[in-house]
Amino acid sequence: MEYEELEQRVNMAPIGTAKLGIDNMRMLMEHLGNPQEELPIIHIAGTNGKGSTAKMTATVLEKAGYRVGLFTSPSLVDFNERIQINREPISDEALSSLIDWVNHRLPEDFVATQFEMFTALAWVAFWQQDVDIVVMEVGLGGRLDATNIITHPLISVITKIALDHVHILGNTLAAIAGEKAGIIKEHRPVISYPQDDEVTPVIAKRAEELAAPLTVVDEKELHYAIDNSLEQTFEYKDESYTITLLEEHQIMNATVVIEIIHNLRNMRWNISNRALHDGLYQTQWAARFERFHILDTDIIIDGSHNVDGITGLRRNLERYYPDTYRLGVMGMVADKDIDTVLKTILPVFDAIIVTEPNNHRAMPANELAHKIAETQLIATENIIVEPDFNQTLAVAKQWLSRINCEKMLTLFGSFYFVGNLRKDLLQFQQESK
């Protein structure tokens, strides 16, 4: 379902007017009977990797035979992607019925933010569909996020914390960590990615205050070798695992999932080693260094949009495409640390096409191109401006046709931007078979 249709049928505040806070969310869910209180929920916060961690966790649980609700954001194309049961997005028909059910129970003058309503629809869907367990990704921050009205999560999880949304969450890692640690609940287990020195004490202090048992992934127990294959094998706590997610940091995300499963087993959830291994191996996650091969050219789609994510993208491009002509297609929203992003990523590209995501916060293509030119990291003649993101694949194809060596294309900078292009690539790939 397109957002415009959803907006017409649900009384939501206009985009851009959302305010952090959970009081309105509490009232919303009280009107709906608080179905979230009846759901076993794994609650995941973090700057980077929370979506991947959520998807891997949900896949493992499905392989163990459970009916699993998964809530993630943002969606790449359609809203339905955010609400999944056993990896299947909710259908338009089911979503339509869900909206009618919610509307019938809300006062006519009740207004929710976009994310509040999305979260409510997810909880009602999972409750109505009688799922066994829910894996739920925080939208923004943690402490004041709409998802944080959860009172007794099965497990609270904190993935990699980095600088992002600094105008909302704070401009230091410690401040951001304080917001993320806001999802920790009294006496409920907490699992954390191994964090920077500035972050770890913040999480540990909050966990101690709430008598919440804290598990931090033990990097000393992790062993892996970097190669250029299309799988990654690693050992954690003397057991070998293989994943097909290609980014190096996905290995660390996978160890977080392993710790989640160990904790669930301690709570008597029945999850076999086979389910754990198969779930990790079979997890696919769109727009996370996702590879297409079309017309003899590798195309990478990556939603990285902050400095930490872009740094990982650069490492992966250098790892998998060391002696290759690299063309980038880039579109970003304006509230990111764009100057640092550019200094980080531009050195890996021979040329760059600049466009605009389909989002109200998009940075104009000409403005972004000007910033790129100012870095002097790419020659002016190799900076191509195409404001219409729908035309960028055609522009890239034409540009690469002139290159007579091994070459590849990377689309990156915003989930809003790469999601639409991914849809085009899937269609082209299907037509080419």
The pLDDT averaged over each successive group of 10 residues in the chain (433 residues) is 66 61 94 98 96 98 99 87 96 93 91 91 98 97 94 98 74 91 98 96 98 98 84 96 93 98 98 99 92 90 88 94 96 86 97 90 93 96 95 94 96 85 83 66
- Which pTM was predicted? 0.91
Q: How far apart are CA 43 and CA 157, in angstroms?
A: 6
- Which residues sit opposite 88 in a β-bridge? 85
Architecture of domain 290-432: Alpha-Beta Complex (3.90)
Burial 220-234 (b: 16+ CB within 10 A, else e): eebeeeeeeeeebeb
Interval 164-177: pLDDT, tens: 766 667 779 999 99
Amino acid making up residue 24: N
For residue 71, CA distances in Å to 38, 115, 129, 145 come to: 16, 12, 14, 14
For residues 25 and 406, what is the distance between their CA atoms, to the nearest angstrom?
52
High-pLDDT (> 70) share of the chain, %: 94
Q: SS3 of 255, please?
A: helix
Residues 140, 182: contact at Cβ < 8 Å? no
The arrangement of strands across the sheet holding 214-216 comes to: 88-89, 83-85, 68-71, 133-137, 41-45, 155-158, 190-192, 214-216
CATH fold of 3-282, please? UDP-N-acetylmuramoyl-L-alanine:D-glutamate ligase (3.40.1190)
State how far the alpha carbon of 375 is from the alpha carbons of 15, 310, 341, 369, in Å: 33, 17, 11, 10
Closest by alpha carbon to 45, among 131, 148, 122? 148
Residues 311-341 pLDDT 10s: 999 999 999 999 999 999 999 988 778 999 9
Kind plus residue range of the DSSP H or E element containing 318: helix 307-320
Domain ranges of the chain: 3-282, 290-432
Q: What is the pLDDT of residues 222-279, one digit of tens each?
A: 998 877 778 999 999 999 999 999 988 999 999 999 999 999 999 999 999 999 999 9
